[in-house]
Amino acid sequence: MSTQEVHSAIQSLYGQNGGAAQQAANQFLVQFASTDGAWEVALGLLGVNDPAVQYFGANMLYGKIRSDWSTLPEPHQGPFMDAMGNHLTKLASRPGSNLAARRLCLTMAAAATRVGPSAAYGLVDKALALACVSEVNDTQGVVGITLALEMQAAIAEETNDAASSRDRQNLVDALVARLVDVLGTAEMVFGKSAGDATLSSLRCAALHAALAWLRLDEKGGGGIVLSPGQLAGCRGTLLQGALAALISDDTKLREAATEFCVAVLAYGAPPSVVPGEDENAVRGMVASLVNAGNHAVNPDHEEIAMAVCKVAVAVVERDATDVAGENASPEFLQLTSLVLTLVETHTTTHVVMEAACDYFLMVNTVPFQQRHPGLRQPLFHRLLGACVQHATLPLDFTTWQNADFDRDTWVRFREQILCDLLDNCFGILPSGYLGFISNKLDTAQSWQEIESATFAARAAAGAVKRLVTQRASERDSSTQSETSDRTTAGTWLRTTLTRIGDASQTPPPPSSQIFASHPLVIAGTCRLVGAFAPWLGLEKNIEIPQKCASYLLLATTAPGAFRFASGAFRDVCARCADFFASTPGTLDGILEAATRAMPDSPPPNSEESFSGSGPGANSFGGGFGELDDDRSGVVEGMARVVAAVTDPAAAVAAAKKLTAPIVARALRHAEKAQAGSGSPLPLAHELKLLASAVRFLEFPNFDEMTRRAASCMGNQSEQSVRARPTHPAVACLSEAWPALAAFNAEPWRSSAEITDAVCQVYQKTLLSAKQQSVTLLPHVLEALKNTFVAHRHVSCLDCLAVATETFSEIAVPSQSQGVGNPEIGNAIEGVFVAVVAAAAACLSTHPIAENADLARALFEYAHKHALFAPAAFLTAKSDANGGLVCHELLSLALATLATREAPDAMRSAVTLVNSTVQPGDKASASHVWRTCRPVSVDAFFASRGEAVVKALLVAGADSAPRLSLPRIAQTLHAIQMAYNDPGRNNVVDAWIRNALSDPRFPCPDRAVDERTRRAFCEIVAAGHDGPRNGQPPPPRRWAACCVDFFQIARGELGADALLGYQM
């Protein structure tokens, strides 16, 4: 292939023709680059009088060297590098070839470092020579110095990217002797170009090259070779130039200088052997930094202030004690004052505060008593004011859509950065912090200031709660100051939360009106109340949590506040449930208020609200997805209160009062949907709300509550026992059954959303009431069976699995049933047979990959039967053909193992096979398994065992999810232990050998070599003639070997991974 042909293809690639011509040219050039002829042609392209072609040639060489250098014969490597050097000299003298020349510098560095240390050393000499003959006062000289710096940087970077640690170490050992000389080039640039703004790019290149060489540390961990003192001693002008560049108006130069200074200050280099040299150098850098900071204080120099803060953080991270210790030098104290002034000055945006945040956090790592007096309360009082100022929305803020800044960025800044700083501020001045918040609330001139004050109060919620809820044993050892702070915090909480609660009054007192001044203020106040819910649960004055609950319910009407009000209400109810349930009239009042506050449909996730992250997020349930119904917080909160009622009859009445409005709304939505004026989705939301309510109506001691209530009444007659109240969850489901029965019929059950929601109601009821829901179980089972048979909704299987597990121990198990009650056992078995038949009909006639979730749910449902209803699993027969249902399930599992696109279904299939082969020692010894296994599981493996073993091996070696490999290995070992007959008939070993004898195993395009397959067989399936004389490895070692073999087949390990198992 000639240079001219490639040149023509490049012209087509860069030409204006477009379309097929460009695509063909690109394909041709990509293919050509991989050929041996590309070496010579690429060199030829460097001589073409076209800068674009020259750059293409240099870039082709760069890629070729990095990928195919070993294909170039060693005798040709030296001349090849000389040819590149000659081309570089020519390109450097051509005005338009600058980019190609710079790319060729990278190419030469890549080649030199691959040849070896001597070639890299020689290229350093060439770069130094090029820099020496160039001057910064003429254009051509600047080009030469730039190329020298590019080459120096590339040598260091290619060294750090060496193919092996040994190659890197050899290069570093050879190059580190030239470090000071190379840094001299960069120092020369700063010495001769100081003050010349037109040479900013040259200074930037100098810093880049110098930093690349400083990072040639021996360990390769990114550390610095020279300490600050050593660098200042040998190349002080370079260091001072970098510090001066921090105030440059050129963004790239300023960023390069910031990176350089931060790296120099980082620990990693061996300290200077000269006593005090490093310390003096750092103090000198700090003095220069303070001088630069005086320029950064200007409000228009925000980016310079950010650079200064980043370097200041590096200073304090180097040694916080030097910066903030009681003997801190004036330079360090001035630096702290400067950083604080910068964050107080630059408040238009938050980049300076973000850059400075770690500075104050590191200062606070110095023990308080060992800290300089000026860096104790005074510093953090000013910092508190700055943080609250940064947390305040602009006065012209209206909506996020019209804001000049991004909402997510704002939330991240407040919740992740300011919260850390504010928590530190509270730790230093707890009483002062709370006093500051109170003063802010009292003197606020805008709703933005009120909102930021509520945020600041919430940011310290964790620390405040720890302080006021301290254990008695810890309080005994508290100092007088800590006791005073605890008292102040308790008083502040009572005052502030009472003030918030009073905002629910009509009209609210003047001091409380601020908490209703804006939707964002209401949202922030709700989050604040939720953050202090644990304290409300301990407060003896019941009026405070009552008022707060009322405020939260009222806040649900504010735009954008519903989510936070709902979540906070749930947490307050969870903490104060006993108070609310035991106080006369409170439960009914809150139930009525909650019912009034509940909208008919889920409120939209308003753009005015904040996201649920950061401290205090747990107080309102964290983040919510778009499909979540925020009303669930109110419902769940009330359910927790109902669950705290101790009188059974009252609990049942309260539960019905809670769920009745939900059912009524569901019926209204159903009527609208049937009339064609509404969507079925609101109906599904209401049913899910019903499930949320039932979820928390557990009453684990309901029987004891009933007996205690009857005993208190002095009436223990048989009639009174029979008349005992039903479980509240069951009572709610019974009350709602007419509606649920309608939703179990057409057309509702054809909707996956409606069926999923109904199944959630059933599932939560079963989990809450457990065996006490036995009276409803037959109806629930029948409804789920009919719905699944008709429409194959996966949620039906998940709910049926819960029912099987819940009723596995309703009474003492009989010898013939896995469940205690024969009627319940028969009902579960009947549903099991019908459901498996319906699912199998679908999976056998349609690709499993297209019904992966159905297969997954079916196998998990069957697995529950194998564990909790083994008699039904092992003996149930199909109504269609009289065959065992378990055989049909295992056959489906076998088919699923060969399906690539269904990882979850495959994982469930492996679990099912494993539980049938290895049910556990206790289950294996039971009457059911001993009598039923031979004609069920064993019979299946007698006829299909070899196919199962092969499918497991292929799945593990090819398509199974990575996390399933250990379970597959354990299953294979279990099959071997169950069906091998040592000394006579090792049938499973034969199955394994047969599967691995296929030269295409596991698949034709990625077959495992015969030697590896044979080695694996000798370890795990050697038989009685093997080296272990019929004794396989221990189970864990056997499974580990199997997993390693699977990884070898997948290309994740080498074949030598099996060597350890052969010893």
| pLDDT on residue 611 | 38
**Which residue from 228, 194, 203 is spatially nearest to 214, judged by alpha carbons?**
228
pLDDT band at 473 (very low <50, low <70, confident <90, very high): low
Distance between CA atoms of residues 520 and 254, nearest Å: 39
Alpha helices in 245-276 (DSSP H): 251-265
| pLDDT on residue 180 | 94
| pLDDT on residue 193 | 85
The per-residue pLDDT for range 238-291, each reduced to its tens digit, is 999 999 999 999 999 999 999 999 999 988 788 899 999 999 999 999 999 999
CB 226 within 8 A of CB 214: yes
Q: How far lies 783's CA from each of 226, 753, 827, 839, in Å?
A: 77, 16, 12, 16
Distance between CA atoms of residues 485 and 467, nearest Å: 8
Spatial neighbors of 874 by CB under 8 A, at least 6 apart, are 884, 886, 928, 929, 932, 933, 936, 937
DSSP 8-class letter at 414: I
Q: Give the CA angle between residues 985, 988, 994 to the nearest 5°.
A: 110
| pLDDT on residue 678 | 73
Mean pLDDT of 523-529: 96
CB 279 within 8 A of CB 323: no
The proportion of the chain whose per-residue pLDDT surpasses 70, expressed as a percent, equals: 92
Peptide bond into 1002 cis (omega under 30): yes
If you search the block for the tokens 């204006």, which residue do you land on?
16
pLDDT band at 677 (very low <50, low <70, confident <90, very high): confident
Q: How far lies 16's CA from each of 168, 648, 761, 772, in Å?
A: 45, 84, 65, 79
CB 641 within 8 A of CB 581: yes
pLDDT band at 46 (very low <50, low <70, confident <90, very high): very high
| pLDDT on residue 267 | 82
Q: Which helix (H) or strand (E) holds 194?
A: none
Least confident of 226-235, 878-887, 1020-1029: 1020-1029
**Which residue from 295, 296, 297, 285 is spatially nearest to 322, judged by alpha carbons?**
285
The per-residue pLDDT for range 559-575, each reduced to its tens digit, is 889 999 999 999 999 99
Bridge partners (DSSP) listed for residue 269: 267
Mean pLDDT for all residues in the chain: 89
Residue 622 has pLDDT above 60, yes or no: no
Distance between CA atoms of residues 105 and 107, nearest Å: 5
* Amino acid (one-letter) located at 625: G
Q: How far lies 349's CA from each of 292, 296, 358, 398, 642, in Å?
A: 21, 15, 17, 17, 48
pLDDT band at 30 (very low <50, low <70, confident <90, very high): confident
Q: Which helix (H) or strand (E) holds 874?
A: helix 870-875
pLDDT band at 818 (very low <50, low <70, confident <90, very high): very low
